[in-house]
Chains A and B, each alone.
Chain A
Amino acid sequence: MFQFILKRLAQGVVLLLIVSITLFLLMMEVGDPIATMGGRTVTRPSDRERLTRQLGLDKPIAVQYLYWLAGNDWTQIDTDGDGIPDKSGTRLGILRGDFGKSLVTKKPVTEMIAERIPNTLILMLASEVVTIFFALIFGIYSALKQYSTLDNILTTLLFVGYSMPIFFISLMSMYLFFILFKKWGLPYLPTVGMFDPEVGKTPLQVLWHMILPVMSLSVIYFAAYSRYIRGTMLEVLSQDYIRTAKSKGLPRRQVVYVHALKNAALPIVTVVGLDLPFLLGGAVVTERIFAWPGMGRLFLDHLSRADVSVVMGSLMLVAGAVVVFQILTDIVYAWLDPRIRYT
């Protein structure tokens, strides 16, 4: 088992290297970072040149990647442009936990991500929990009552949820719960940000502001999850061992919740486990619409300004989480399914 984890980790590292090289190459071409630095336009050619040198943008891509990856504190860099290296580098590289500094805010990327991660996680995890809770209830019910009227109605509705563009459901729910409710004099839900600046960031405020985005996200995830759970349950319920359990005269409850659910849990856990790391990436569209200061917004804002360190940092964070969660999922799977033993 230990060997298996080591092996998977090694593979993961290789995978991350390939991903990072590819992304780095892409990022080199997404725009002119100098042009958008800090929101002000740098016009003087001499300033441009100095900045380019300072940022190491004059170096070949391979060197830039190396600096990004492993830092440049072991080498001298030329800051004044006289061709003689004069100052030792300060970057430690992503391998040593230094994600670099943002061109826009000048703050370390790790700090910026650390600021945003809780916001994203609170939104995404809440949606995930709400989703899984309802999806399990509905998925199991619907599988047990396959082809009942309620199953048919709900299954059709699921399709609508599944096909719903997230911005459309967001805009519609904003329109209904904010604008119309306000118009009708009902208590209306806020649509922008995490809290009312006048009240401050209290847990209650955050909760209140979360309702709409969480609802929008949940509708879409719910549809996908419950379809999957329903399908898995149906598959399991048609297995021979369920027939055996019934033939033993076990109460229906026991057949469903012990014999069927334990088997259905395997694929469900896998899917949830593999989805979890992607939550770190945030919900770009939702965060944009609801002005939620999360990872998705961070990514989007800094991508448009060609802020390489921030964009690379957040992408690599997700990719790294994907690798880790894949291994975790395998471990959980092995723990749940006695047939699988990694040696």
Chain B
Amino acid sequence: MSDSTPLVEVKDLKKHFPVTRGIILQRKVGIVRAVDGVSFSIQRGETLGMVGESGCGKTTAGRTMLGLYPATSGSVTIDGEDILHARGKDQLAIRRKAQIIFQDPYASLNPRWSVNSIVSEPMRVHGLFASQKERAERAKDLLGLVGLSPHLLNRFPHEFSGGQRQRIGIARALASDPLFIVCDEPISALDVSIQAQVVNLLEKLQDQFGLTYLFVAHDLSMVRHICDRVAVMYLGIIVEVADRNELYEKPLHPYTQALLSAVPVPDPRKERERKRTILTGDVPSPINPPSGCRFHPRCPIAVERCKKETPEWREAAPGHWAACHLANG
């Protein structure tokens, strides 16, 4: 990590979805501010965790930054190149460097394609090898790398279990020799006993190839385990970022505090003694986010000021950023 410029830089990324009504002639009646101005950077070889409740925009952020949804505004550079505004060949070249793995092991592999076609696709699209045979050889190597037997190359996804499918998805993501992988809730659909397999594999690959990850998840325990730094999202914005131990041990934002206190711990004695901050109510609609601090209607410590003023994004401790009027590091 001698290179101090970050591999990935996201600046003020916004993704708004229009809300339309009507079946045929659609009319815009509002905007879902799914991602509403998100900035962060990821160092080479680092894993940044992105956590939050469902609907907070973490998945949309991960997908928009790869251009899978057209961004409303903002910029994303990967290895110095702007992925959102590149076109044609340039865009293809950047796409090669950034890949994504998904949550649903059933929906993320084309059921009509053999493992070989799936894993070779990125090589084919990017013209990485001259012949199909060479690509198949490389696909075999990749299968070995993710812990699958290379002779399964000509099988189809439905023959594999969820965990095995997730490995195939990882092999596909590795096929174009990427620098950066967005892990879009890669383990949340898997059984506990399989989750550890996949997480260990991701870590092994990171060590081996110096990969950089954005790890989107809602499982805070797993995020603490795998990530170097963690960003907490709430209603389309990031409310807190810090190194993992700093964040989990000294959370500054009341939302992060509540989130952490809600995570159950597999230890009955500890559980009995724990004091929980139980948040009331649900996440408000991202169509009309609350004024001021977006968390104020659910915040246990909110004051009058929180309703009016949007809190400033500030560094409360070295490397520990939070957006809360009341947080002091």
Q: Which positions in A face B, CB cutoff 8 Å?
A: 4, 7-8, 11, 330, 342-343
Contacts and interface: CB of A to CB of B under 8 A. Distances in A.
User: Chain A interface mostly helix, strand, loop or mixed?
Assistant: helix
A4 B23 CA distance: 9
A13 to B, nearest CB: 13
A11 B22 contact: no
A330 B22 CA distance: 12
Contacts of B25: 7, 11
A7 B22 CA distance: 9
A343 B24 contact: no
A244 B151 CA distance: 46
Contacts of A343: 21-22, 29
Nearest to B25: A7
A15 to B, nearest CB: 10
A157 B25 CA distance: 43
Contact of A11 (B21, B24, B29): B24
A4 B22 contact: yes
14 contacts: A4-B22, A7-B22, A7-B24, A7-B25, A8-B24, A11-B24, A11-B25, A330-B23, A342-B21, A342-B22, A342-B23, A343-B21, A343-B22, A343-B29
A14 to B, nearest CB: 11
| Top 9 A-B residue pairs of the complex, sorted by shortest distance between their CB atoms | A343-B21, A7-B25, A11-B24, A7-B22, A11-B25, A4-B22, A343-B29, A342-B22, A8-B24
Nearest to B24: A11
Nearest to A330: B23
A5 to B, nearest CB: 12
A8 B22 CA distance: 10
Interface in B1-25: 21-25
Nearest to B21: A343
A7 B25 CA distance: 8
B18 to A, nearest CB: 15
B285 to A, nearest CB: 16
A11 B23 CA distance: 11
Interface in B27-86: 29
Contacts of A8: 24
Contacts of B23: 330, 342
Interface in B90-128: none
Nearest to A341: B21
Nearest to A8: B24
A122 B33 CA distance: 56
A4 B21 CA distance: 10
A102 B22 CA distance: 41
Contacts of B21: 342-343
Contacts of A11: 24-25
B2 to A, nearest CB: 55
Nearest to A11: B24
B135 to A, nearest CB: 43
Contacts of A4: 22
A70 to B, nearest CB: 26
